[in-house]
């Protein structure tokens, strides 16, 4: 074991490390309560104003950006999850030619720097004469999500015992029934995880969006643009709200999973 | 039967496999199979791993398609029917219970797919048959191995299939539970009157439960018959060694009468009844089961009707509760295994003692195999023979290169 | 998580019998076609753009297709400091992230095994920064480490920093930002591998007279290599192309510009598409070389 010097060295380090990781989050959260004017750099006083009137600042620019991010995230997630799940099933369950090429094609978007992805798409839209707006952003986000969906769902498909589907067929299930009642329900946790990942990636994406958005503003883009002028505290509000919701969802999922595992462990 | 999954047999149907072969890219799982299983019987397909028995099962279930041949159930050709169109159900080795459904829903699954009335009631009935109705609302993960196995059985039985396939269903259970389930399965089969096809590598299990056993090896059936028949009169060295143990000796037929053949085995004379030998001239491998042998501390009087071999030396004595195993080294015949029931306390002979071995002529058997060759199908589990085979294969490969 | 899946060593999985079927084509086609259209083609487009020459009309932002390979020469001679700087910063940030994350991943993956709920919650804490916008995180650090901030003024008061020194705007700040932002990318693959580490190997090492340090060097590290490699790739590649941290609006200064900043500037502001494209291709090529080395060692099946 690495730190045999003291049993406590590692746990202490972990606590310090997590504290360090959390600092920006806490800072952002605190400053969402700042009674700021234009820029949110110096603390002027505590107020709940920004939380209560999130959408008023700058004619609701922040909320509009937030809304755009949600729409884009949802559409891209649905598209990427559907296509990615289909690919994952094909890769695990079926034989086909060009397997290596397919793996490579799916891997490369994850390995390509966002600048390159963004610039490339922008260059293509430019030469194709496609104006940059919501559509181009959605197309871009769907693209980089697919690979992540494939990776996530593939793990789940691979862990699915084929005997279960065979049992379904043996028990008079037609192929559609077997898929609907056995395969899909068992894949669902993986698909949901992939969808969540995709949404998170899309929601927080800046670089690719910046290259392909034209005049449409997403939340990250809004923040970037305001960075030099001064970011309104409302951005902190929304970011903090998203953080809290996401945290609650994930923690609840983990806790309920643990509770359910505990319950199922009691053998009849 | 095709398409009509409404009413199935009220009793088992017979199964016929005609000219079946199954080839996968790279290897042949089943070379040639002709098999008839009569309705209402408990049939065991016995063999080592890789012999093709599980593939045979999957072919009957419809989970694989045969390369050649036909499959008939109750006289109807089902070769081209999908699994959900066949009146067959399988109990899987891993049970394959649907983890996202309750026990009750698992059992009711097949009934619902066939749109039969009162699936819930019938499911409860099936669960009562395996004494698990009180756990109907649980999830499979909450059940013990033995309970899961019984749910898997109920899930298959509730559909009253003409043919029930069991793929080594008792493998994961501990010894005591396995014995119990063996009896239960046999009882249920006799009660309900279905045809059971049970696939296993456990020869004791097959002999206990089955009416008929087929021993499979390397994609072919070596011998088929009632358990006692296979055990007491094996046809090949593989069957002789796979079912229990045998002492095998190779020699030349030096004399025949209408009742028996006399074989010269390295100077010793062994008599085998004509009716119990597949070869009557030339070279032959004869054998006798270890439990049929008697040990003598002095040369016994050679009487008609008994074979005597000796003198030989005891090299090992192994106590195993019910019986004691003796290893005897004979100068010409090699090591002979003797099982003696412990009728008294203490061994009958000690290590180093000189003994004679005798047995009733009626208990010997003569194999069909060409003697002398390494038997065509060496047992897979013998590491020494595997190494020898690999070595021989390498030598021929390098020789041909 | 996908990042964790990056490092999955193929476990004791059974070989699933794969069927040959036209369904496979149906399942693959939509996604693959989509990627060809929106990933491969843009890359090709990028290559073509990088070879363009200014159009004869002389209008800004308008180019003609050509084979002006000199673009690459120009771009490298103009920006080679940025290129070197980008990979340098990314490398240092990767090493720092590894040093920071390894003990963390070790604790969660090895020490905390007895408490699965704790493991899950600690992992949630590791990825929690993801839930707050990347930009706001970086901005928070900018404020916290700016000249007027509590941290910097205290350091100066304690004479740990020269009175006229800055932190923000220096390479150190950019590297700091890069390291911080990519810690989860490093931690998760490390965690996945360490979580699977069979502790009996460590016990065997101890049993065979190795000191704890030797066990760590000779047993733990080699066994966690798949995670280290995956984490390093997942950190280095995006870090090399990052431009937020180095941007003047965030943690960067005038002499910390990375290749990403240059690409952005050329593309979106100067409209010098060929230059931006050429730089992108250069960046991409270096990364492809690294990935190819990785594939040679592990094969394409391991990629996903």
Q: Which CATH architecture has domain B15-229?
A: 3-Layer(aba) Sandwich (3.40)
Instruction: Give the Cα separation of A3 and C16 in Å (integer).
Output: 42
Closest residue of C to A104, CA-based? C300
Q: Which residue of A has its CA nearest to C6?
A: A151
B338/B395: higher pLDDT: B338
Structure tokens at B228: 């006692």
Distance in angstroms (rounded) separating the CA atoms of residues C185 and C236: 10
Cα→Cα distances B32→A31, B67, B76, Å: 79, 10, 21
Choice among A33-37, A145-149, B393-397, C191-195 with the minimum mean pLDDT: B393-397
Q: C53, C64 in Cβ contact below 8 A?
A: yes
Chain A, nearest residue to B89 by Cα: A170
Say how many CB pairs under 8 Å bridge A and C.
293
C-alpha A192/C-alpha A249 separation (Å) is 13
Q: Which domain holds residue C84?
A: 38-302
Q: List the single residue in A109, A119, A155 with the smallest CB-CB distance to C277.
A: A119
B310 conformational bin, left if phi > 0, alpha if psi -120 to 50, beta if neither: left
CB-based contact, A164 to chain B, within 8 Å: yes
For residue B159, what are the contacts with CB-CB under 8 A and spacing of at least 6?
A171, A172, B8, B89, B110, B111, B114
Q: Does A185 touch chain B (CB under 8 A)?
A: yes
Q: Which residues lie closer than 8 Å to C229 by C-beta, 6 or more apart?
A: C7, C294
Residue C9 is predicted with a pLDDT of 35
Q: What is the CA radius of gyration of chain B?
A: 25
Query: Residue range B41-70: average pLDDT?
Result: 92
A266 touching B (Cβ < 8 Å): yes
Query: Quick check: C11 pLDDT over 70?
Result: no
Q: Are the beta carbons of C140 and A28 separated by less than 8 Å?
A: yes
Confidence at residue B372, expressed as pLDDT on a 0 to 100 scale: 57
The full DSSP string for chain C is -HHHHHT----S---PPPEE-HHHHHHHHHHHHHHIIIIIHHHHHHHHHHT-EE-TT--TT-EE----THHHHHHHHHHHHHHHHHHHHHHHHHHHHHHHHHHHHHHHHTGGGG-HHHHHHHHHHHHHHHHS-HHHHHHHHHHHTSTTSHHHHHHHHTTSS-TT--STTSHHHHHHHHHHHHHHHHHHHHHHHHHT--HHHHHHHHHTT--HHHHIIIIIHHHTHHHHHHHHHHHHHHHHH--TTTSTTTT--TT---HHHHHHIIIIIS--HHHHHHHHHHHHHHHHHHHHHHHHHH-GGGT-
Mean pLDDT, range B363-375, rounded to an integer: 72
In the complex, which subunits touch C with 3 or more CB pairs below 8 angstroms?
A
CATH number at residue C107: 1.10.3720.10
Stretch among A19-23, B15-19, C268-272 having the lowest mean pLDDT: C268-272
How much is the average pLDDT of A183-210? Answer: 90
pLDDT tens for residues B172-225? 788 888 888 888 888 888 888 889 999 999 998 999 999 999 999 988 999 999
Residues in chain A with CB shorter than 8 Å from the CB of C240 are: 113
Is the pLDDT at A255 greater than 50? The verdict is yes
Domain regions of chain A by residue span: 61-235
Please give the share of chain B, as a percent, with pLDDT higher than 90: 55
CATH 1.10.3720.10 fits A61-235, yes or no: yes
Mean pLDDT score across all residues of chain C: 83
What is the Cα–Cα distance from A86 to A102, expressed in whole angstroms? Answer: 13
**A200 in Cβ contact with A243 (< 8 Å):** no
- Binary contact (A258, C135; C-beta < 8 A): no
Bond into A21 cis (ω within 30)? no
pLDDT per position as a tens digit, C35-75:
999 999 999 888 888 888 887 776 777 777 878 888 888 88
Q: Could A1 and C23 be called an inter-chain contact, meaning their C-beta atoms sit closer than 8 Å?
A: no
Query: CA dist A118 to B234, B256, C49, C269, Å?
Result: 75, 93, 14, 15
Higher pLDDT, residue B333 or C64: B333
Contact A171 B82 (CB under 8 A): no
pLDDT band at C302 (very low <50, low <70, confident <90, very high): low
Q: Which of A113, A127, A252 to mutate to test the interface with C (most CBs of C within 10 A)?
A: A113
Which has more confidence, B317 or C298? Answer: B317
Measured between CA atoms, how close is A33 to chain C, in angstroms?
14
Does B395 score more than 70 pLDDT? yes
C-alpha span between B19 and B196 (Å, rounded):
21
Of the ranges A207-216, B232-241, C162-171, which one carries the lowest mean pLDDT score?
C162-171
| Model pLDDT, residue C291 | 76
- Do B100 and A267 lie within an 8 Å CB cutoff? no
Q: Phi and psi dihedrals of B73, rounded to 5?
A: -120, 120
Tokens of A246: 């996401």
- By C-alpha distance, the chain A residue nearest B64 is A166
- Segment holding A22, helix H or strand E: helix A9-31
Kindly report, residue by residue over B248-284, the tens digit of the pLDDT. Answer: 988 889 999 989 999 988 888 899 999 999 989 888 9
Neighboring chain A residues of C1 at a CB cutoff of 8 Å: 152, 193, 197
- Measuring CA to CA, which residue among C239, C118, C219, C268 is closest to residue C174? C239
Average of per-residue pLDDT across C133-160:
84
Provide the pLDDT for residue C21: 80
Query: Chain A partners of B84 at a C-beta cutoff of 8 Å?
Result: 169-174
Which CATH fold would you assign to the domain B234-308+353-366? OB fold (Dihydrolipoamide Acetyltransferase, E2P) (2.40.50)
Nearest CA in chain A to B6: A172
- For residues B1-5, average pLDDT: 38
Is the pLDDT confidence value at C300 over 80? no
CA-to-CA distance for C249 and A126, rounded, in angstroms? 27
Please report, for residues A100, B4, C47, the alpha-carbon distance to residue A105 in angstroms, rounded to integers and kept in the order given: 9, 46, 17
Number of other CB atoms surrounding residue A257 within 10 Å: 14
Among the listed ranges B324-338, B375-389, C214-228, C277-291, which one has the minimum average pLDDT value? B375-389
Mean pLDDT of C130-155: 84
Assigned token pair, B45: 């397909």
* pLDDT for res B399: 67
Across B257-331, the runs of DSSP E, i.e. the strands, are 260-265, 268-273, 283-288, 294-296, 306-319, 323-330
Of C304, C285, C289, whose CA–CA distance to C230 is shortest?
A: C304
Q: Between chains, do C125 and A254 touch, taking CB under 8 Å as contact?
A: no
Distance from CA of A208 to the nearest CA of C (A): 11
Helix C171-195 × helix C70-109 angle, to 10°: 50
pLDDT at C301: 54
Identify whether the C-beta of residue B284 lies closer than 8 Å to the C-beta of residue B367. Answer: yes
Buried b (16+ CB within 10 A) or exposed e, A181-214: bbbeebbeebbebbbbbbbbbbbbbbbbbbbbbe
Question: So what's the pLDDT on residue B3?
Answer: 39
**Residues A145 and A85 sit within 8 Å (Cβ to Cβ):** no
Residues B216 and B34: beta-carbon distance below 8 Å: no
CA-nearest residue to A32 within chain C is C136
Instruction: Give residue-wise pLDDT tens across range A103-140.
Output: 889 988 988 888 899 989 988 888 888 888 899 999 99
Percent of chain B with pLDDT over 70: 92
Sign of CA dihedral C188, A221, A117, C74: negative
Q: Given this chain, do its domains B15-229 and B234-308+353-366 carry the same CATH topology?
A: no
Least confident of A61-70, A208-217, B33-42, C148-157: C148-157
Quote the pLDDT of residue B290. 94
pLDDT at C120: 85
User: Is C32 part of a structural domain of the chain?
Assistant: no
User: Which residues of B have a CB under 8 Å from any CB of A?
Assistant: 5, 61-63, 82-84, 88-90, 92-94, 96-100, 109-110, 113-114, 135, 138-139, 141-144, 147, 155-156, 159
- pLDDT one-digit tens code per residue, B70-84: 999 988 999 999 998
How far apart are alpha carbons A15 and A21 in whole angstroms? 10
Give the pLDDT band of residue C116 (cuts 50, 70, 90).
Answer: confident
Smallest Cβ–Cβ distance between A172 and the set B96, B99, B113 belongs to: B113
Cα A224 vs. chain centroid, distance in angstroms? 19
**What mean pLDDT is predicted for residues C80-107?**
93
Residue spans per domain, chain B:
15-229, 234-308+353-366
Q: How many CB atoms lie within 10 A of CB C73?
A: 11
pLDDT digits (tens, 9 = 90+) for B139-172: 998 999 889 999 999 999 999 888 999 998 888 7
pLDDT for the residue numbered B152: 94
Query: Most confidently modeled of A96-100, B133-137, B344-348?
Result: B133-137
Name which of A238, A18, A200, A20 is nearest C141 in CA terms. Answer: A20
């Amino acid at each position: 074991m690495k730190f045999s010097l003291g049993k406590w060295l590692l746990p202490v380090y972990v606590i310090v490390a997590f504290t360090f990781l959390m600092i920006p989050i806490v800072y952002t959260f605190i400053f969402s309560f700042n009674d700021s004017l234009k820029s949110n750099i110096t603390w002027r006083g505590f107020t709940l104003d920004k939380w209560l009137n999130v959408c008023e600042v700058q004619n609701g620019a922040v909320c509009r950006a937030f809304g755009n991010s949600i729409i884009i995230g949802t559409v891209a997630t649905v598209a990427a999850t559907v296509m990615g799940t289909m690919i994952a099933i094909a890769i695990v369950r079926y034989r086909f030619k060009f397997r290596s090429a397919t793996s490579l094609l799916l891997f490369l978007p994850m390995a390509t720097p966002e600048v390159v992805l963004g610039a490339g798409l922008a260059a293509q839209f430019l030469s194709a004469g496609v104006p940059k707006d919501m559509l181009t952003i959605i197309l871009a986000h769907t693209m980089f999500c697919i690979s992540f969906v494939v990776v996530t769902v593939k793990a789940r498909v691979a862990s699915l015992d084929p005997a279960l589907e065979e049992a379904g067929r043996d028990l008079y299930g037609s192929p559609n029934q077997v898929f609907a009642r056995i395969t899909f329900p068992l894949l669902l946790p993986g698909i949901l995880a992939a969808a969540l990942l995709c949404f998170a990636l899309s929601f927080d994406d800046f670089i690719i969006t910046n290259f392909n958005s034209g005049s449409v503003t997403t939340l990250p883009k809004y923040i970037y643009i305001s960075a030099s002028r001064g970011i309104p505290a409302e951005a902190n509000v929304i970011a903090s709200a998203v953080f809290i919701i996401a945290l609650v969802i994930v923690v609840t999922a983990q806790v309920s999973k643990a509770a359910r595992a505990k319950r199922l462990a009691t053998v009849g | 039967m095709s398409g009509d999954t409404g009413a199935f047999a009220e009793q088992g149907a017979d199964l016929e496999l005609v000219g079946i072969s199954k080839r996968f890219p790279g290897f042949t799982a089943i070379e040639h199979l002709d098999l008839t299983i009569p309705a209402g019987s408990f049939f065991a397909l016995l063999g080592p791993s890789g012999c093709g028995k599980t593939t045979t099962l999957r072919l009957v279930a419809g989970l694989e398609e045969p390369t050649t041949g036909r499959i008939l159930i109750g006289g109807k050709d089902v070769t081209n029917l999908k699994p959900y169109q066949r009146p067959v159900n399988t109990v899987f080795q891993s049970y394959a219970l649907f983890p996202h459904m309750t026990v009750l829903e698992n059992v009711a699954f097949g009934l619902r797919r066939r749109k039969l009335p009162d699936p819930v009631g019938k499911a409860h009935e099936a669960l009562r048959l395996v004494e698990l109705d009180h756990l109907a609302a649980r999830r499979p993960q909450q059940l013990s191995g033995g309970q899961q196995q019984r749910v898997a059985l109920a899930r298959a039985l509730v559909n009253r299939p003409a043919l029930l396939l069991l793929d080594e269903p008792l493998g994961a259970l501990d010894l005591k539970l396995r014995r119990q389930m063996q009896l239960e399965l046999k009882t249920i089969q006799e009660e309900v009157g279905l045809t059971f096809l049970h696939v296993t590598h456990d020869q004791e299990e097959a002999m206990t439960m089955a009416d008929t056993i087929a021993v499979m090896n390397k994609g072919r059936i070596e011998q088929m018959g009632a358990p006692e028949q296979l055990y007491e009169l094996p046809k090949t060295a593989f069957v002789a060694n796979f079912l229990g143990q045998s002492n095998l000796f190779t020699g030349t037929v030096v004399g025949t009468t209408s009742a028996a053949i006399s074989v010269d085995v390295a100077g010793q004379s062994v008599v085998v009844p004509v009716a119990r030998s597949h070869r009557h001239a030339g070279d032959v491998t004869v054998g006798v089961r270890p439990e049929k042998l008697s040990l003598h501390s002095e040369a016994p009087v050679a009487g008609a009707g008994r074979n005597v071999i000796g003198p030989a030396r005891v090299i090992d004595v192994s106590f195993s509760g019910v019986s004691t195993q003796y290893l005897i080294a004979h100068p010409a015949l090699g090591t002979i295994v003797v099982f003696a029931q412990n009728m008294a306390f203490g061994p009958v002979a000690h290590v180093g003692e000189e003994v004679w071995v005798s047995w009733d002529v009626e208990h010997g058997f003569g194999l069909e195999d060409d003697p002398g060759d390494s038997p065509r199908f060496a047992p897979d589990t013998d590491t020494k023979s595997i190494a020898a085979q690999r070595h021989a294969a390498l030598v021929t490969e390098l020789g041909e290169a | 998580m996908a990042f964790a899946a990056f490092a999955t060593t193929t476990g004791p999985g059974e070989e699933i019998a794969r069927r040959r079927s036209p369904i496979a084509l149906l399942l693959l086609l939509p996604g693959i076609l989509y990627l060809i259209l929106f990933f491969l083609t843009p890359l090709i487009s990028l290559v073509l753009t990088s070879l363009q020459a200014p159009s004869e009309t002389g209008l800004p932002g308008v180019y003609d297709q050509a084979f002006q390979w000199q673009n690459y020469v120009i771009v490298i001679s103009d920006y080679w400091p940025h290129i070197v700087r980008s990979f340098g910063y990314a490398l240092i940030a990767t090493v720092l992230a590894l040093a920071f994350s390894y003990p963390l991943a070790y604790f969660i993956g090895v020490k905390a095994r007895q408490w699965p709920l704790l493991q899950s919650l600690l992992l949630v804490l590791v990825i929690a920064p993801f839930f707050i916008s990347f930009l706001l995180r970086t901005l928070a650090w900018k404020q916290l480490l700016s000249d007027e901030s509590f941290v910097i003024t205290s350091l100066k008061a304690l004479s740990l920093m020269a009175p006229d020194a800055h932190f923000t705007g220096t390479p150190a700040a950019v590297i700091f930002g890069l390291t911080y932002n990519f810690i989860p990318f490093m931690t998760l693959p490390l965690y996945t591998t360490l979580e699977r580490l069979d502790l009996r190997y460590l016990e065997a090492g101890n049993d065979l007279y190795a000191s704890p340090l030797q066990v760590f060097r000779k047993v733990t590290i080699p066994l966690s290599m798949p995670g280290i490699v995956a984490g390093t790739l997942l950190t280095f590649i995006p870090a090399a192309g990052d431009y937020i941290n180095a941007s003047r609006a965030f943690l960067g200064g005038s002499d910390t510009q990375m290749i990403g900043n240059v690409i952005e500037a050329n593309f979106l502001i100067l409209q010098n598409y060929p230059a931006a494209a050429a730089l992108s291709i250069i960046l991409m090529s270096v990364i492809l070389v690294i990935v190819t080395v990785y594939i040679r060692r592990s094969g394409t099946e391991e990629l996903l």
